[in-house]
Structures are given as C-alpha cells and as structure tokens.
Structure 1
Amino acid sequence: MSVVQLPWDEKTKTLDMPVPSSEALLPDAQERLEQLATRIRQDIRTTSHHQDWIPRSENEGQPRVLDVLIIGGGQAGLGVAFSLQRERIDRVAVVDAGDDPRRVGPWHRYARMHTLRSPKRMKGIELDVPSLHIQRWFEACYGEEAWAKTDLVPRLDWNDYLVFYRWVTSIEVHHKSFVTAVHRPETADGPFAIDVQESGTAPSSVQTLYARRIVFALGLIGGGTAYTPDMIRSLPRSKWFHTEEEFDVSQCKGQRIAVLGGGASGFDNAGTALEAGASEAAVFMRRSTVPCNNPLRWMEFPGMQEHYFDLNDEQKVEFSLFNGGLPQPPTQHTIWRCFSYRSFQLRMAAEWVKVEDTGKELVIHTMDEHGTADTYHADMIIAATGYKVDLTLRPELKEFYADILTWRQAYPPSEGTAVAASPYLGSGFEFTPSHSQAPWISRLHHFSTGARTSMGVTGNQLSGIYGGLKRMAWSMATAITKENWPELMRQFRVFEHKEVMNVVYRFGGP
C-alpha cells in the first residue's frame, strides 16, 4: 500500500511468515498457518474491489502525496490501514516509533495483564474476512480444542496475531519513525507536510512526508497524556512510573511497591511486580469496594458499536458523564493473580493525602472515609491513575490547537464537565473546524482516547473497534468521492465500454 520509503526502513523489514515461539504450538503449526494465509488472501481477493478509482495528478519533480498517513502501528493503526485497503484507498503509509516489528502496540511493552479483557468472539479488525479472525489464527497455532478451552485471549498471543495480521494483509509499517511535527497545508485543499525522524536520532535525520489525510492512532495516550498526580510527579523520577510506561520489571525485585489506583491496570501492575519478586505490593483505592460490574459488556451490541454517533449531543454527554463515573474492573483472573501472593495488600477507602521522600523510603499518608489517618512505607510507586484528554498536550497537533472544535465550544452545557476538552468529531472521527478559516481540519482524524465522547466505544478499544473502522473507511471514501467528483464526472463522460459487438437485424419475419 505504501508509496514512501524511509531511509531506515531496511533495518526493520520482515519478509518471512511470522510464527509464534510458544512451547504450546502444534507440531504442524507452521504448515497450518501457511494454509490459513493462503485462505485469507483468497478471501480478501474474492471480496475486494478491483478497480482503481481515485484520480491522480502527478507533477514531475513534486513529491508524491499519500491518500492517508496513519500515525501509530498498533491494533488501531493496522485496523485502519486494512479498512482503507478494503475501500481501495491504496496510497497509505503507517509510521510507528517502535523499533521492533515483533512488538505491536503496548502488548509487549506496558500492557501487563495475562489476557485480554474483551470477549474472544467479538467482531474486530478482521472486518468482513472471517478467516482473518483471531479464532482462525489461534486454532492454526494451538488447535480447535485449545480455542474452545480459552476464555480470554492471552495477551502475548494477541501480539503475535497482530504481527501475523500485518504480514498477511501486506500492511507495511515504517518502524523507528517518530512524527515530530505536522504542518498546515499551504492551501485550503493542499496536503499536510509531516516531519518524521528516525527514533532516537538527531533532528538532522528528519524526512518530510506529504498526505491528504492523517489518522492519529496513538492509543490511550493519543488524546493528551498519562495523568499522574502532582504529589507523585514531584518525587525523584527513579522512584515512580505510570502504568503507560515500559520499564524493566526486575527493578521491583525485593522492593515494596505501592500502586495508586484500583482499576484493572492497578491490579495488573501489582501482579506483575509480585511475579518479578517484589517483597510486597499494595493497591490503594478510594472506593470502599472492589468494582465488580463491567459496563463494557453492555456496550457490545450494534447500536452502541455502529450507531452511537447518530445520537444527539445531549444524549452523548449524558452517556459519557455517567459512563465516565463507572470504574473499569479487573478480570477475576487478575484478582486471583494478586491474592495468590501473601505479600499482596488491598487497601480500600484509602485516599492519598501526601507522599514524603525520606531518602531511604517513601512514606505515603492516607485518609479513609471517616477521617482516620494511616501510613504506608514503600520503595517505589506505580501510578495507575489513567489518562487526561487535552489536545494541547499533543506535540503533533501544535499548529492546530486553535482550529479544532471542542465539546465545550460545540455544546455549551458541557462546560465544566469531564468531557468539555474532548474534540467534537464528525462521523468518520474527523476533527471539526472551530472557524471557517481552517477547512482542512476535517482531513485530520482522531482514532484515540479523546474520541469517546463523540464516538462512544467505537474508537481504538477492541470492544467497539469494528464499528469505528467501518465508519472511518466509509467516511474517507465518501469525502474522497466528493472532492474528486468533477474529475470523476469528466471521466464518466468520456468513458466507453463496448458490451455489444455484433447486432443481427432480421426483416420480414420471425
């Protein structure tokens, strides 16, 4: 699909079919995967559009312009690339800052659960190609019986599936490619200029790509930043980290770990620390009970996944504010994982008041709902405190802050609520211009956390990604058709396809 080549691409390119290294792999797994790959490619060809349809106007000496640049090569970015492929939008490139093509998104980095939390049978990034579903890959690797016995897909298997998905769909990802800036078009309908440099190198290595549209598929952090309370941020950086970060878990060995936040990621990280040899780990939560109800399970039906966008603004804000106040519980397995260690503590109704750094240890002061004070002594803190939606914190959007309509501007009753700073998106996840002088804003698409108010669960999360991918590709195809309609109409006027080559006329009888 890609029409660009970055100088560092050759360092990370993989050509062979990826095969997991798990000891549970069937003896003939490679052969089964090869057969599956053949079936997938046949199914894709059978159900594909076969006509190039987007008008091209190339000028000699001018850089080629991508239809779409996707920033982020995780499950969302790969899903977008494949959905555009299905619409035969074929000048697409995916860039990702990661340096290892065998590690996709967070699954080998900072995701620390044993399994995914989403049901295994959900529709997802396979779109309309059943043979591409995770079930078919899992069965090829481990057998039909193993799939039947699996409740939730193991996290590392999901990573390996995404590597296979990228390979079998021929999606080229430019790894080690960090976007440093996106620049405004020189004209209202002109392309964006995107500065990309090799990750970890000096700015002198910056390359410039040009694209008509951009999809920001940057995951949970893409709407702003990871949120960390000031009382933690003020500590020496070596003594805390956020669950968003990749770090060497061996640092936890022999350490007392305090986890602030009793959601799913809090328990995941506590369990990981204990498995790495932490002397103890304590999860702190303000609530007096562990969340048990998972609201996502209610949302996994077509009305929410595919038609939430069609609700009015009042309904979206009502839903978002109510849903935003509901906790995301850990899985039952994660609870068992933590409590299997005698050194695990769960401290409920324990709000952090302040953290002292004595030089030798961290002293955490807490207060319960009755005003009773307590302390906990730790060596390291893990902040499982979620994310903050604020587009002004995204460096790649620096030139566009004032041009993007937010919910507080579009729907004044949202002012002062948790959704006010979220971008007010169109039907294909596109930003809405806040004024008439920025019409090109609608060619920037936000497929990240900040989309939730406008799009519900249909964004980068697996619980609704199928509906989001459909909307994204359909919307782009619609916009490209409208933009090119004069040229398409001109082509139609001169179009000829002779169906009838010979006509025999009979006169005077039957």
Structure 2
Amino acid sequence: MDEFFDVDGEARRALDLLGPAPENWVPARAGIDHDVLIVGGGQTGCAFAFALRRAGIGRVSVIDAANDAGTAGVWLNRARMNTLRTPKTLVGPEGDVAGLSFRAWYEARYGRDAYGSIERAPRREWAAYLAWFRTFLDIPVRYGVRLSRIEPAGDSFRVHLEVDGEARVETVRKIVLCNGVAGNGRAFVPDVVAHLPPALLAHTSQAIDFSALRGKSVAVIGAAASAFDAAATALEAGAADVHLFARRAALAAKPVSRTRGYPGAYDNYHGLPDALRWSQARRFRREGSTAPRDSIERVTRFANFRLHVGAAIEAARAVDKRIVLNANGDAFAFDFAIAGTGFAVDLAARPELADIAPHVRLWRDQYTPPPADADAALGAHPYLGEALEYLEKTPGAAPWLRNIHVYNPAGFVSAGVPVGDVPSMRRDIPAVVRRISRDLFHADIDTHAARLDADVPADFDATLYAANVWNAQEHDQPLSQGIS
C-alpha cells in the first residue's frame, strides 16, 4: 500500500534539522541597494536565492521580466516536452536539503509507488514543484522588472531597470545572470528563412498559438529536441500534416555528453586543459544535439508526420499568405513554419550587456584550436572562471567583470554541461555562492577584522567555580603528602 506525506511538514522538519539560516553578515554600504541581484526568477534564480540565504548573505533581489509567476520561466510557456530530459535522480534546486527535493514533493503528493514508476519528471509536475519551492521558502521575486543595462560604477554596478514600464536605476555589488537559454545571445533563425513574415514563421522560443494550426500544413526546421516537441504539439493540436527538415543524413542519436557525467569529470571539469574542454565541445557539435527517444516516438505515431533527412533549406519565400520552401531540389508549400534551430551566443546582441560585451574574454580570445577543430559558434562563448564569472579580455581593463556570474547556457564550453539546467545545479550553484561569499567578505576585510577583534562579554565570572578552587591552607594536609 502506498504512503503519502505532508510535504510542508516534511520540508519544515528537514530545515529544522539543518538549523536556522544565519543572519546577514554582509556590512551595508552607503549607496548600495542590493548586495546581489539575480536576473531571472525561474528554477535557478530561486535556487540561488535559497543558497545565498543559507550562506548568510542578505540584501538579495530577484527580478523577472514576466508579469507574474504564471508567465515566468519556460515550463508552462515555451517548453513543450511531456517530461524533463534529465533523470529524476539529479540534485536540483534543493541542494543538500533532501526534504525540499522534487522526490520529496512528488512522493508526498502522489505516493512512493508513483515516484518509482516514472523515469523522468513530468513537465507540468516539475512546474508545480518549482512553484511550491518558491512559495514554501518565501522567496520574493519582483515580477514585471526587466534589466535593460548593466553600467559599471567602480566596484559596483548601476543597473538600469524597466519596472512596470518605467525606468529606474538601482545599485548592486554582484550580479548572477539566471536569464535562460538566450541570456548571452539570441534565438538563432537561419538567414534563408529569417526574412519570412512573422505571421508565417516563429522560433520555438516564442509563444505559438498551436490551436490556430489545426487543419494547417506546418514545416518544422531543425532536428533537436525543441523541434520535435514543437512538431508533436502541432500534430496533437490537429495540424493537417507536419514536415520536419533535418540537415543531417540521419538523426543525431549519440548523447556524447554522458561520458562526462561521472563525479571525477563532473567535479573537476573546470580544471581541465583548454584543449580538452574545447575538444569535448567540438565532439558534441559534431555528433549533434540529440532529441530524446520519446520525443521522436511522440511524432512518429502520427501518420501525417513526414521526416526529411539530409534536407537543408535552400530557399524560402512567401506566396499568397503561404510559405514555399526548397530543399533537395524539391519545393513544398506550407501554411506556417517553426524554426527549432537553437540559439546563438552573442553578447553584443543583448542590450543589457552592451557596455560590458567588448571587455569580456571569449573562447576565441583564449584558445586557438587546430584548423580542423575551428568553430566560430563555440569561439563566441564567454571564457568563464571557476565560479562562472566573466573574465577580462585585457587584464586590468575591466576588473569589475569578476562580479558578474553567468548561469545560463553560454557557460557550456567552459563548464561542460548545459549551465542553467538541472545537471549544473549540484556543482555550480555552491561554487558561485562560495565565490560571492568570499568576494563580499574580503571586500570589507577591515570591517570584518574589527568584528573579529571585537570585545566578547564573558559567559560567566569566577563565582561560578570559586567554591571548588583548591586552597591548601583550608585542608589538613597537602595532596603531595605520602608520595614517595
């Protein structure tokens, strides 16, 4: 018989066993509004807020451009998979507090047998868990706040914000970019289709009205997971037919990143030589991003799904409110096209990074691969430090860059995992929090030195033990008498 639990009660017990969070130890600075600004209130932004709280770091602000919790993040909006693509057993936002884990939440809600029966977390259940996590821990997120510019200001930053449509400037010491897959760049749409009217073309990162595609003919460009998820959603919504165009002669089927999943490689990846990290990233690019087996099965069960392999789009044009695509010498007409073509890392494409982008060291500035392993897309990734901090392109020119930590997929080449997804949490959130703690502590070392040397009142005085102090004159003979 299955067992059910009070998830809030179990979580409170887990926190109670851990002990109370420390009080904020970071000295306040005149003119500073926030010690840490977290950009993005999704799963990683809230995880960072919790981890910083447990580290005794206060004055943390979490902002999100979405208007409310329901429209924030990807899980109920732009994500279209049925289940997460990562194993359910990975440590997530709970860190070392098992009572706050997805497993604890799911078992409390559905029972242990139900948890044992799933291989991966259902997407909507994961979204519900994250909402509980944020609410239970009382993590405040400032919705309707968009970061528009990061302006260096000595050893801090002036951050330009749009708050409910109004401009505002606040000051911060540390920034953590938990701003999603396009957080250091943009959605990538191939030039061959980018000119098509927005009414006929969307990227998978955009909101798409799939109900409007009922009875329509749809093209999907790309063969990674997001492309298959979009194709499946269109088919499930009643599309007349869906054609998916893949450039490769066969679908990518080898998830080569799994070779790096054991603790030795995972925990020590940042210390690997640049050449080895680059070769691992190149191997991933050569093999291609694999769609999960269930994402492919989700579309192949439809008789009106057609897969085109070895079919790069050669030309595209709009004709009478439809799209004509040319591939492999053939022409195909569609009512709508979806680009599941991923994202490009391009710091200059982000308005909020315009002031700092020229100073950031990129992989192409750090490492020159052999000609056969050259890759412009990988070279555009920022070359990050061990705490996922930006580094200077020119030493000494922009020392403030170390105070910006990148927790989004732009860290892939440096970190070896899709930063921002669940696989990166166990290693990288503690690493970033430790660095923030160290930097904030040393930045105010004189204040802390005075605190360390401060007078400490005694817990007791001599009256506590006075009656038991040995006094030879009060005794008939000394203890030494009789010792030979």
How far 1:49 moved relative to its partner?
6.3
Q: 1:342 is matched with which residue: 303, 322, 340?
A: 303
- Tell me, in whole angstroms, the C-alpha distance in 1 between the residues paired with 2:418 and 2:245: 31
TM-aligned CA distance change 1:115 to 1:51, over 3 Å: closer
Task: Give 3-state SS (helix, strand or coil) of 1:222's partner.
Answer: coil
Quote the residue 1:407 is aligned against.
Answer: 363
Question: What pairs with 1:129-208 in structure 2 (closer than 5 Å)?
Answer: 129-185=97-153, 187=154, 189=155, 191-199=156-164, 201=165, 205-208=166-169
**Cα deviation 1:265-305 (Å, max 9, x = unaligned):** 11100000011111000111112222222234333332343
Q: 2:434 is matched with which residue: 474, 484, 488?
A: 474
TM-aligned CA distance change 1:41 to 1:484, over 3 Å: farther
Alignment TM-score, normalising by the size of structure 2: 0.91
Q: Contact 1:419 / 1:453 at 8 angstroms: preserved in 2?
A: yes
**Cα deviation 1:60-113 (Å, max 9, x = unaligned):** xx4x52111001111121222122122111211110011231344101111111
How far 1:50 moved relative to its partner?
4.7
Alignment TM-score, normalising by the size of structure 1: 0.86
- Tell me, in whole angstroms, the C-alpha distance in 1 between the residues paired with 2:452 and 2:280: 46
Q: 2:205 is matched with which residue: 244, 248, 270?
A: 244
How far 1:45 moved relative to its partner?
4.1
Unaligned segments of structure 1, at least 5 residues: 1-25, 368-372
Question: What pairs with 1:83-482 in structure 2 (closer than 5 Å)?
Answer: 83-185=51-153, 187=154, 189=155, 191-199=156-164, 201=165, 205-367=166-328, 373-413=329-369, 417-435=376-394, 436-457=396-417, 459-482=419-442
How far 1:43 moved relative to its partner?
2.1
How many residues in Structure 1 have an aligned counterpart in Structure 2? 465
TM-aligned CA distance change 1:50 to 1:128, over 3 Å: same
TM-aligned CA distance change 1:206 to 1:46, over 3 Å: farther
Q: Contact 1:96 / 1:178 at 8 angstroms: preserved in 2?
A: yes
Q: Contact 1:458 / 1:467 at 8 angstroms: preserved in 2?
A: no
How far 1:123 moved relative to its partner?
1.4
Is 1:484 aligned with 2:444? Answer: yes
Quote the residue 1:43 is aligned against.
Answer: 14
Matched to 1:271, the amino acid is A
Q: Contact 1:305 / 1:468 at 8 angstroms: preserved in 2?
A: no
Is 1:52 aligned with 2:23? Answer: yes
TM-aligned CA distance change 1:48 to 1:421, over 3 Å: farther
- Tell me, in whole angstroms, the C-alpha distance in 2 between the residues paired with 1:360 and 1:396: 36
Quote the residue 1:498 is aligned against.
Answer: 458
How far 1:221 moved relative to its partner?
0.7
Identity of aligned residues (%): 28
Q: Contact 1:41 / 1:169 at 8 angstroms: preserved in 2?
A: no
TM-aligned CA distance change 1:348 to 1:412, over 3 Å: closer
Pairwise CA RMSD of aligned residues?
Answer: 2.1
How far 1:115 moved relative to its partner?
0.8
- Tell me, in whole angstroms, the C-alpha distance in 1 between the residues paired with 2:366 and 2:65: 33
Task: Give 3-state SS (helix, strand or coil) of 1:213's partner.
Answer: strand
**Cα deviation 1:291-327 (Å, max 9, x = unaligned):** 2222343333323433211112222112112122222
- Tell me, in whole angstroms, the C-alpha distance in 1 between the residues paired with 2:269 and 2:148: 33
